[in-house]
Structure 1
Amino acid sequence: MRSIGEMARDSGLGVSALRFYDRAGVLGPAWVDPASGYRWYAPEQLDEARLLARLRRAGMPLADIRLVLAGWSGEDTDLVRGLLQAHLRRLERGLTEARVEFSTLRELLDHRENPMTASPRTGTVHLSLPAPALATALDAVRFAVGRDPELPVLGGVLFDVEGDALRVVATDRYRLAVARTDAAGHGGSREQVVVPAPLVDAMRALLGGDGSARFAVEGDRVTLEAGERQASGQRLAHDFPDYRRLVQLPPGRRVVVAVPALREALENGPVRVAEEREPGRSARDISVLTTVDDGTVLVCGDGVPREDADGNEDRDNKARENEAGARDTDGLGYRVGVDRGFLLEALAAGDRDRLVLEFGPAPTAPLAIRRTDDEGTFSLLMPVRLED
């Protein structure tokens, strides 16, 4: 017999996935210890679990997977082959339809970009701003810069100059961070320039003291001067997404949290392993947040036993919850899953002992992390879909 931890390691399915498939009636353990709640799997179930993992990676619906497993165990090869072929046809049909839509979208983009007549970037910007304020703004957004080589425009920080304000923005699709600081010297129209991450880091290294900094854009060249030192380089030749549309969120419920308590709850509280992964991304630890009726924010469990460091389930803790030291006027009524590492980075970038968590009207809405004293600096985290 295999424990759930051993089954997860040998089959390629996560522990939380095995629990989900048990609750869904797809693959249940051979025996559950009534005293401890331990799940135990028979040796012959390993092949079924590996088959299940392959079918899920191929995107087969659970209803069909249930039939495939039944046919597999009963040696009904005709049923299994028929289900596999039907799913393959669905995938091929979906891919064909997607190719048509993407071809149309590329044509629309070609018309919009019109590269044959595109003019070089000639924007000019000259700004003066406090060095500590710029350093603080960059620190608030740097964690959200993208690393996907397929999306080079997200590999930098947007400097958005308008009037007497500079906004710096970064996003990797899963999180977005915005910070605002006052600036002087720009009398022209709104200008936007994307500064590559290595140059941003070089600029940040110049901002160690007081005094002012001078930020300049001349065509494709970006320069920051602080004291006698200078960092200069090429801007990214891409247009940044319209972040103003991305931050237009429906009203949510705001909760003021004590950051040290929330950080401790996240680091010591229960986690799940994300079932869905983006290409090239490793498995992520997911924290599940909710509020109870008195407004306390909890990092909550999933109501099932947790595994210990050896992959065995914790018989003494079937649902552990940690208070996050926060109060609100009402309970959420739902749970929202977030990448634990992303949330910890956002809390660190918030740079306050007390921050505001803003939950959206549904668990599919982004979670906002805001400062209590600065509405212009905040970050958004995309939620992770929970299986149950």
Structure 2
Amino acid sequence: MRSIGEMARDGGLSVSALRFYDRAGVLVPAWVDPISGYRWYEPEQLEEARLLARLRRAGMPLADIRLVLAAWSGADTDLVRGLLQAHLRRLELGLSDARSEFSTLRALLDHRENPMTSLNTATARLSLPAPELAAALDAVRFAAGTDPELPMLDGILFDIEGEGLHLVTTDRYRMAVAQARTTGHGGLRTQVVVPLPLADAMRALLTGEEPVQLTVDGDRVTLETGDRQTAGQSLGHEFPDYRRLVHLPAGRRAHVDPATFRKALETGPVRPSETRKQDGEAFDLSVLRVTENGTVIVCDDGDDDPHDVAVNRAFLLDALTAAARDELVLELGAPTAPLAIRRPDDTDTFSILMPVRLED
């Protein structure tokens, strides 16, 4: 007999997924301990678990999976082949429809006037404190994208407006925003996307306390400090309108000690996510809950609550490191709403993480 943990490890399904498929009557354990409720599986069920994992990765509906497993156990290969072929046809038709829609959307984008074009062709020169720019770069660098299919995210947005400079990064799964004070810029709002190698070179110059000069001249960006400077070309892509993405619905706020919370994440329970990937990599989930007394706990596997929020644990640890404060505020809304990590003394520097839907 295999324990549920062994079945999860060898079958390619998470423990929570196995519990769900038991409740759904799709993959029922051979025996359940009447006292502990622990599930045990026959060795022959490993093949069914692996088949189930493959079908779910292929996006087959649960109703069809039931039929495939029933036909598989009954050696009805004709029915299995028919169900697989029918699902493949649905996927091909869906892909064809999606390509048609995306072709139409690209045509609409090509013909639509882009109101942001002037932001990338402006000229700006401003001064700002070196420590503030260094802190802002440190606060957002972790969330920058690296996907070659989305080159507009492979950099840091420098958004200059009034007396403030906002730095923004996102890789679709998370976003980080930071602000630094500026002087000398009295023109229109200017935006430029600085490639990561240039941003890292800028950070390397920011070792002193003196003000530095940032110059944007069309697609060229220059940072000067004393007798040193670094310069390069900006990315020729538009960055998403981040201001529309950071207005989050009101949620539950909880103050956390970063060191204590980090230890709870590192040593607490996780849920492996073999069937979900971000940028091609599987990841572990931490499931968070705000208790009645206002503290945040990392939930045990299977201890589900409708208000729990699941996030990529590694991404959350990165956000805690980048925030660099003795106290942080976590804002948890609905399980489908982003999780915000804020500094209590700085409302303009924060990061948000997209939640991950738990196995169903």
- Give the TM-score normalised by structure 1: 0.86
What is the CA-CA distance between 1:80 and the residue it aligns to?
2.3
2:336 is aligned, of 359, 364, 367, to 364
Contact 2:119 2:190 in 1 (8 A): no
Structure 1 portions without partners, runs of 5+: 305-318, 320-331
Match of 1:13 in 2: 13
C-alpha separation in 1, matches of 2:97 and 2:260? 49
2:45 aligned with 1:45: yes
2:313 aligned with 1:346: no
Q: 1:298-332 CA deviation, whole Å, 9 max, x = no partner?
A: 1111337xxxxxxxxxxxxxx9xxxxxxxxxxxx9
TM superposition outliers: structure 1 runs of 4+ over 6 Å: none
In the superposition, relative to structure 1, how do residues 144 and 27 fare at CA in structure 2: closer, same or farther (>3 Å)?
same
Match of 1:247 in 2: 246
Match of 2:225 in 1: 226
Identity of aligned residues (%): 71
For the aligned residue pairs, the C-alpha RMSD in angstroms reads 2.3
2:349 aligned with 1:377: yes
Matches within 5 A, 1:121-132: 122-132=121-131
Contact 2:31 2:40 in 1 (8 A): yes
Contact 1:291 1:333 in 2 (8 A): no
Contact 1:167 1:181 in 2 (8 A): yes
C-alpha separation in 1, matches of 2:277 and 2:263? 28
2:95 aligned with 1:95: yes
In the superposition, relative to structure 1, how do residues 120 and 334 fare at CA in structure 2: closer, same or farther (>3 Å)?
closer
- Give the TM-score normalised by structure 2: 0.92
What is the CA-CA distance between 1:179 and the residue it aligns to?
0.5
Q: Residue 375 of structure 1: SS of its match in structure 2? A: strand
Contact 1:359 1:367 in 2 (8 A): yes
Question: Aligned partner of 1:26: which letter?
Answer: V
C-alpha separation in 2, matches of 1:110 and 1:122? 19
What is the CA-CA distance between 1:36 and the residue it aligns to?
6.0
In the superposition, relative to structure 1, how do residues 284 and 255 fare at CA in structure 2: closer, same or farther (>3 Å)?
same
Q: Residue 180 of structure 2: SS of its match in structure 1? A: strand
Contact 1:124 1:219 in 2 (8 A): yes
Structure 2 portions without partners, runs of 5+: none
What is the CA-CA distance between 1:358 and the residue it aligns to?
1.0
Contact 1:16 1:273 in 2 (8 A): no
C-alpha separation in 2, matches of 1:119 and 1:215? 19
Match of 1:215 in 2: 214
Question: Aligned partner of 1:194: which letter?
Answer: V
Q: Residue 377 of structure 1: SS of its match in structure 2? A: strand
Tell me the matched-pair count: 358
Match of 2:155 in 1: 156
Matches within 5 A, 1:1-388: 1-33=1-33, 38-112=38-112, 122-278=121-277, 280-303=279-302, 334-360=307-333, 362-387=334-359
In the superposition, relative to structure 1, how do residues 267 and 126 fare at CA in structure 2: closer, same or farther (>3 Å)?
same
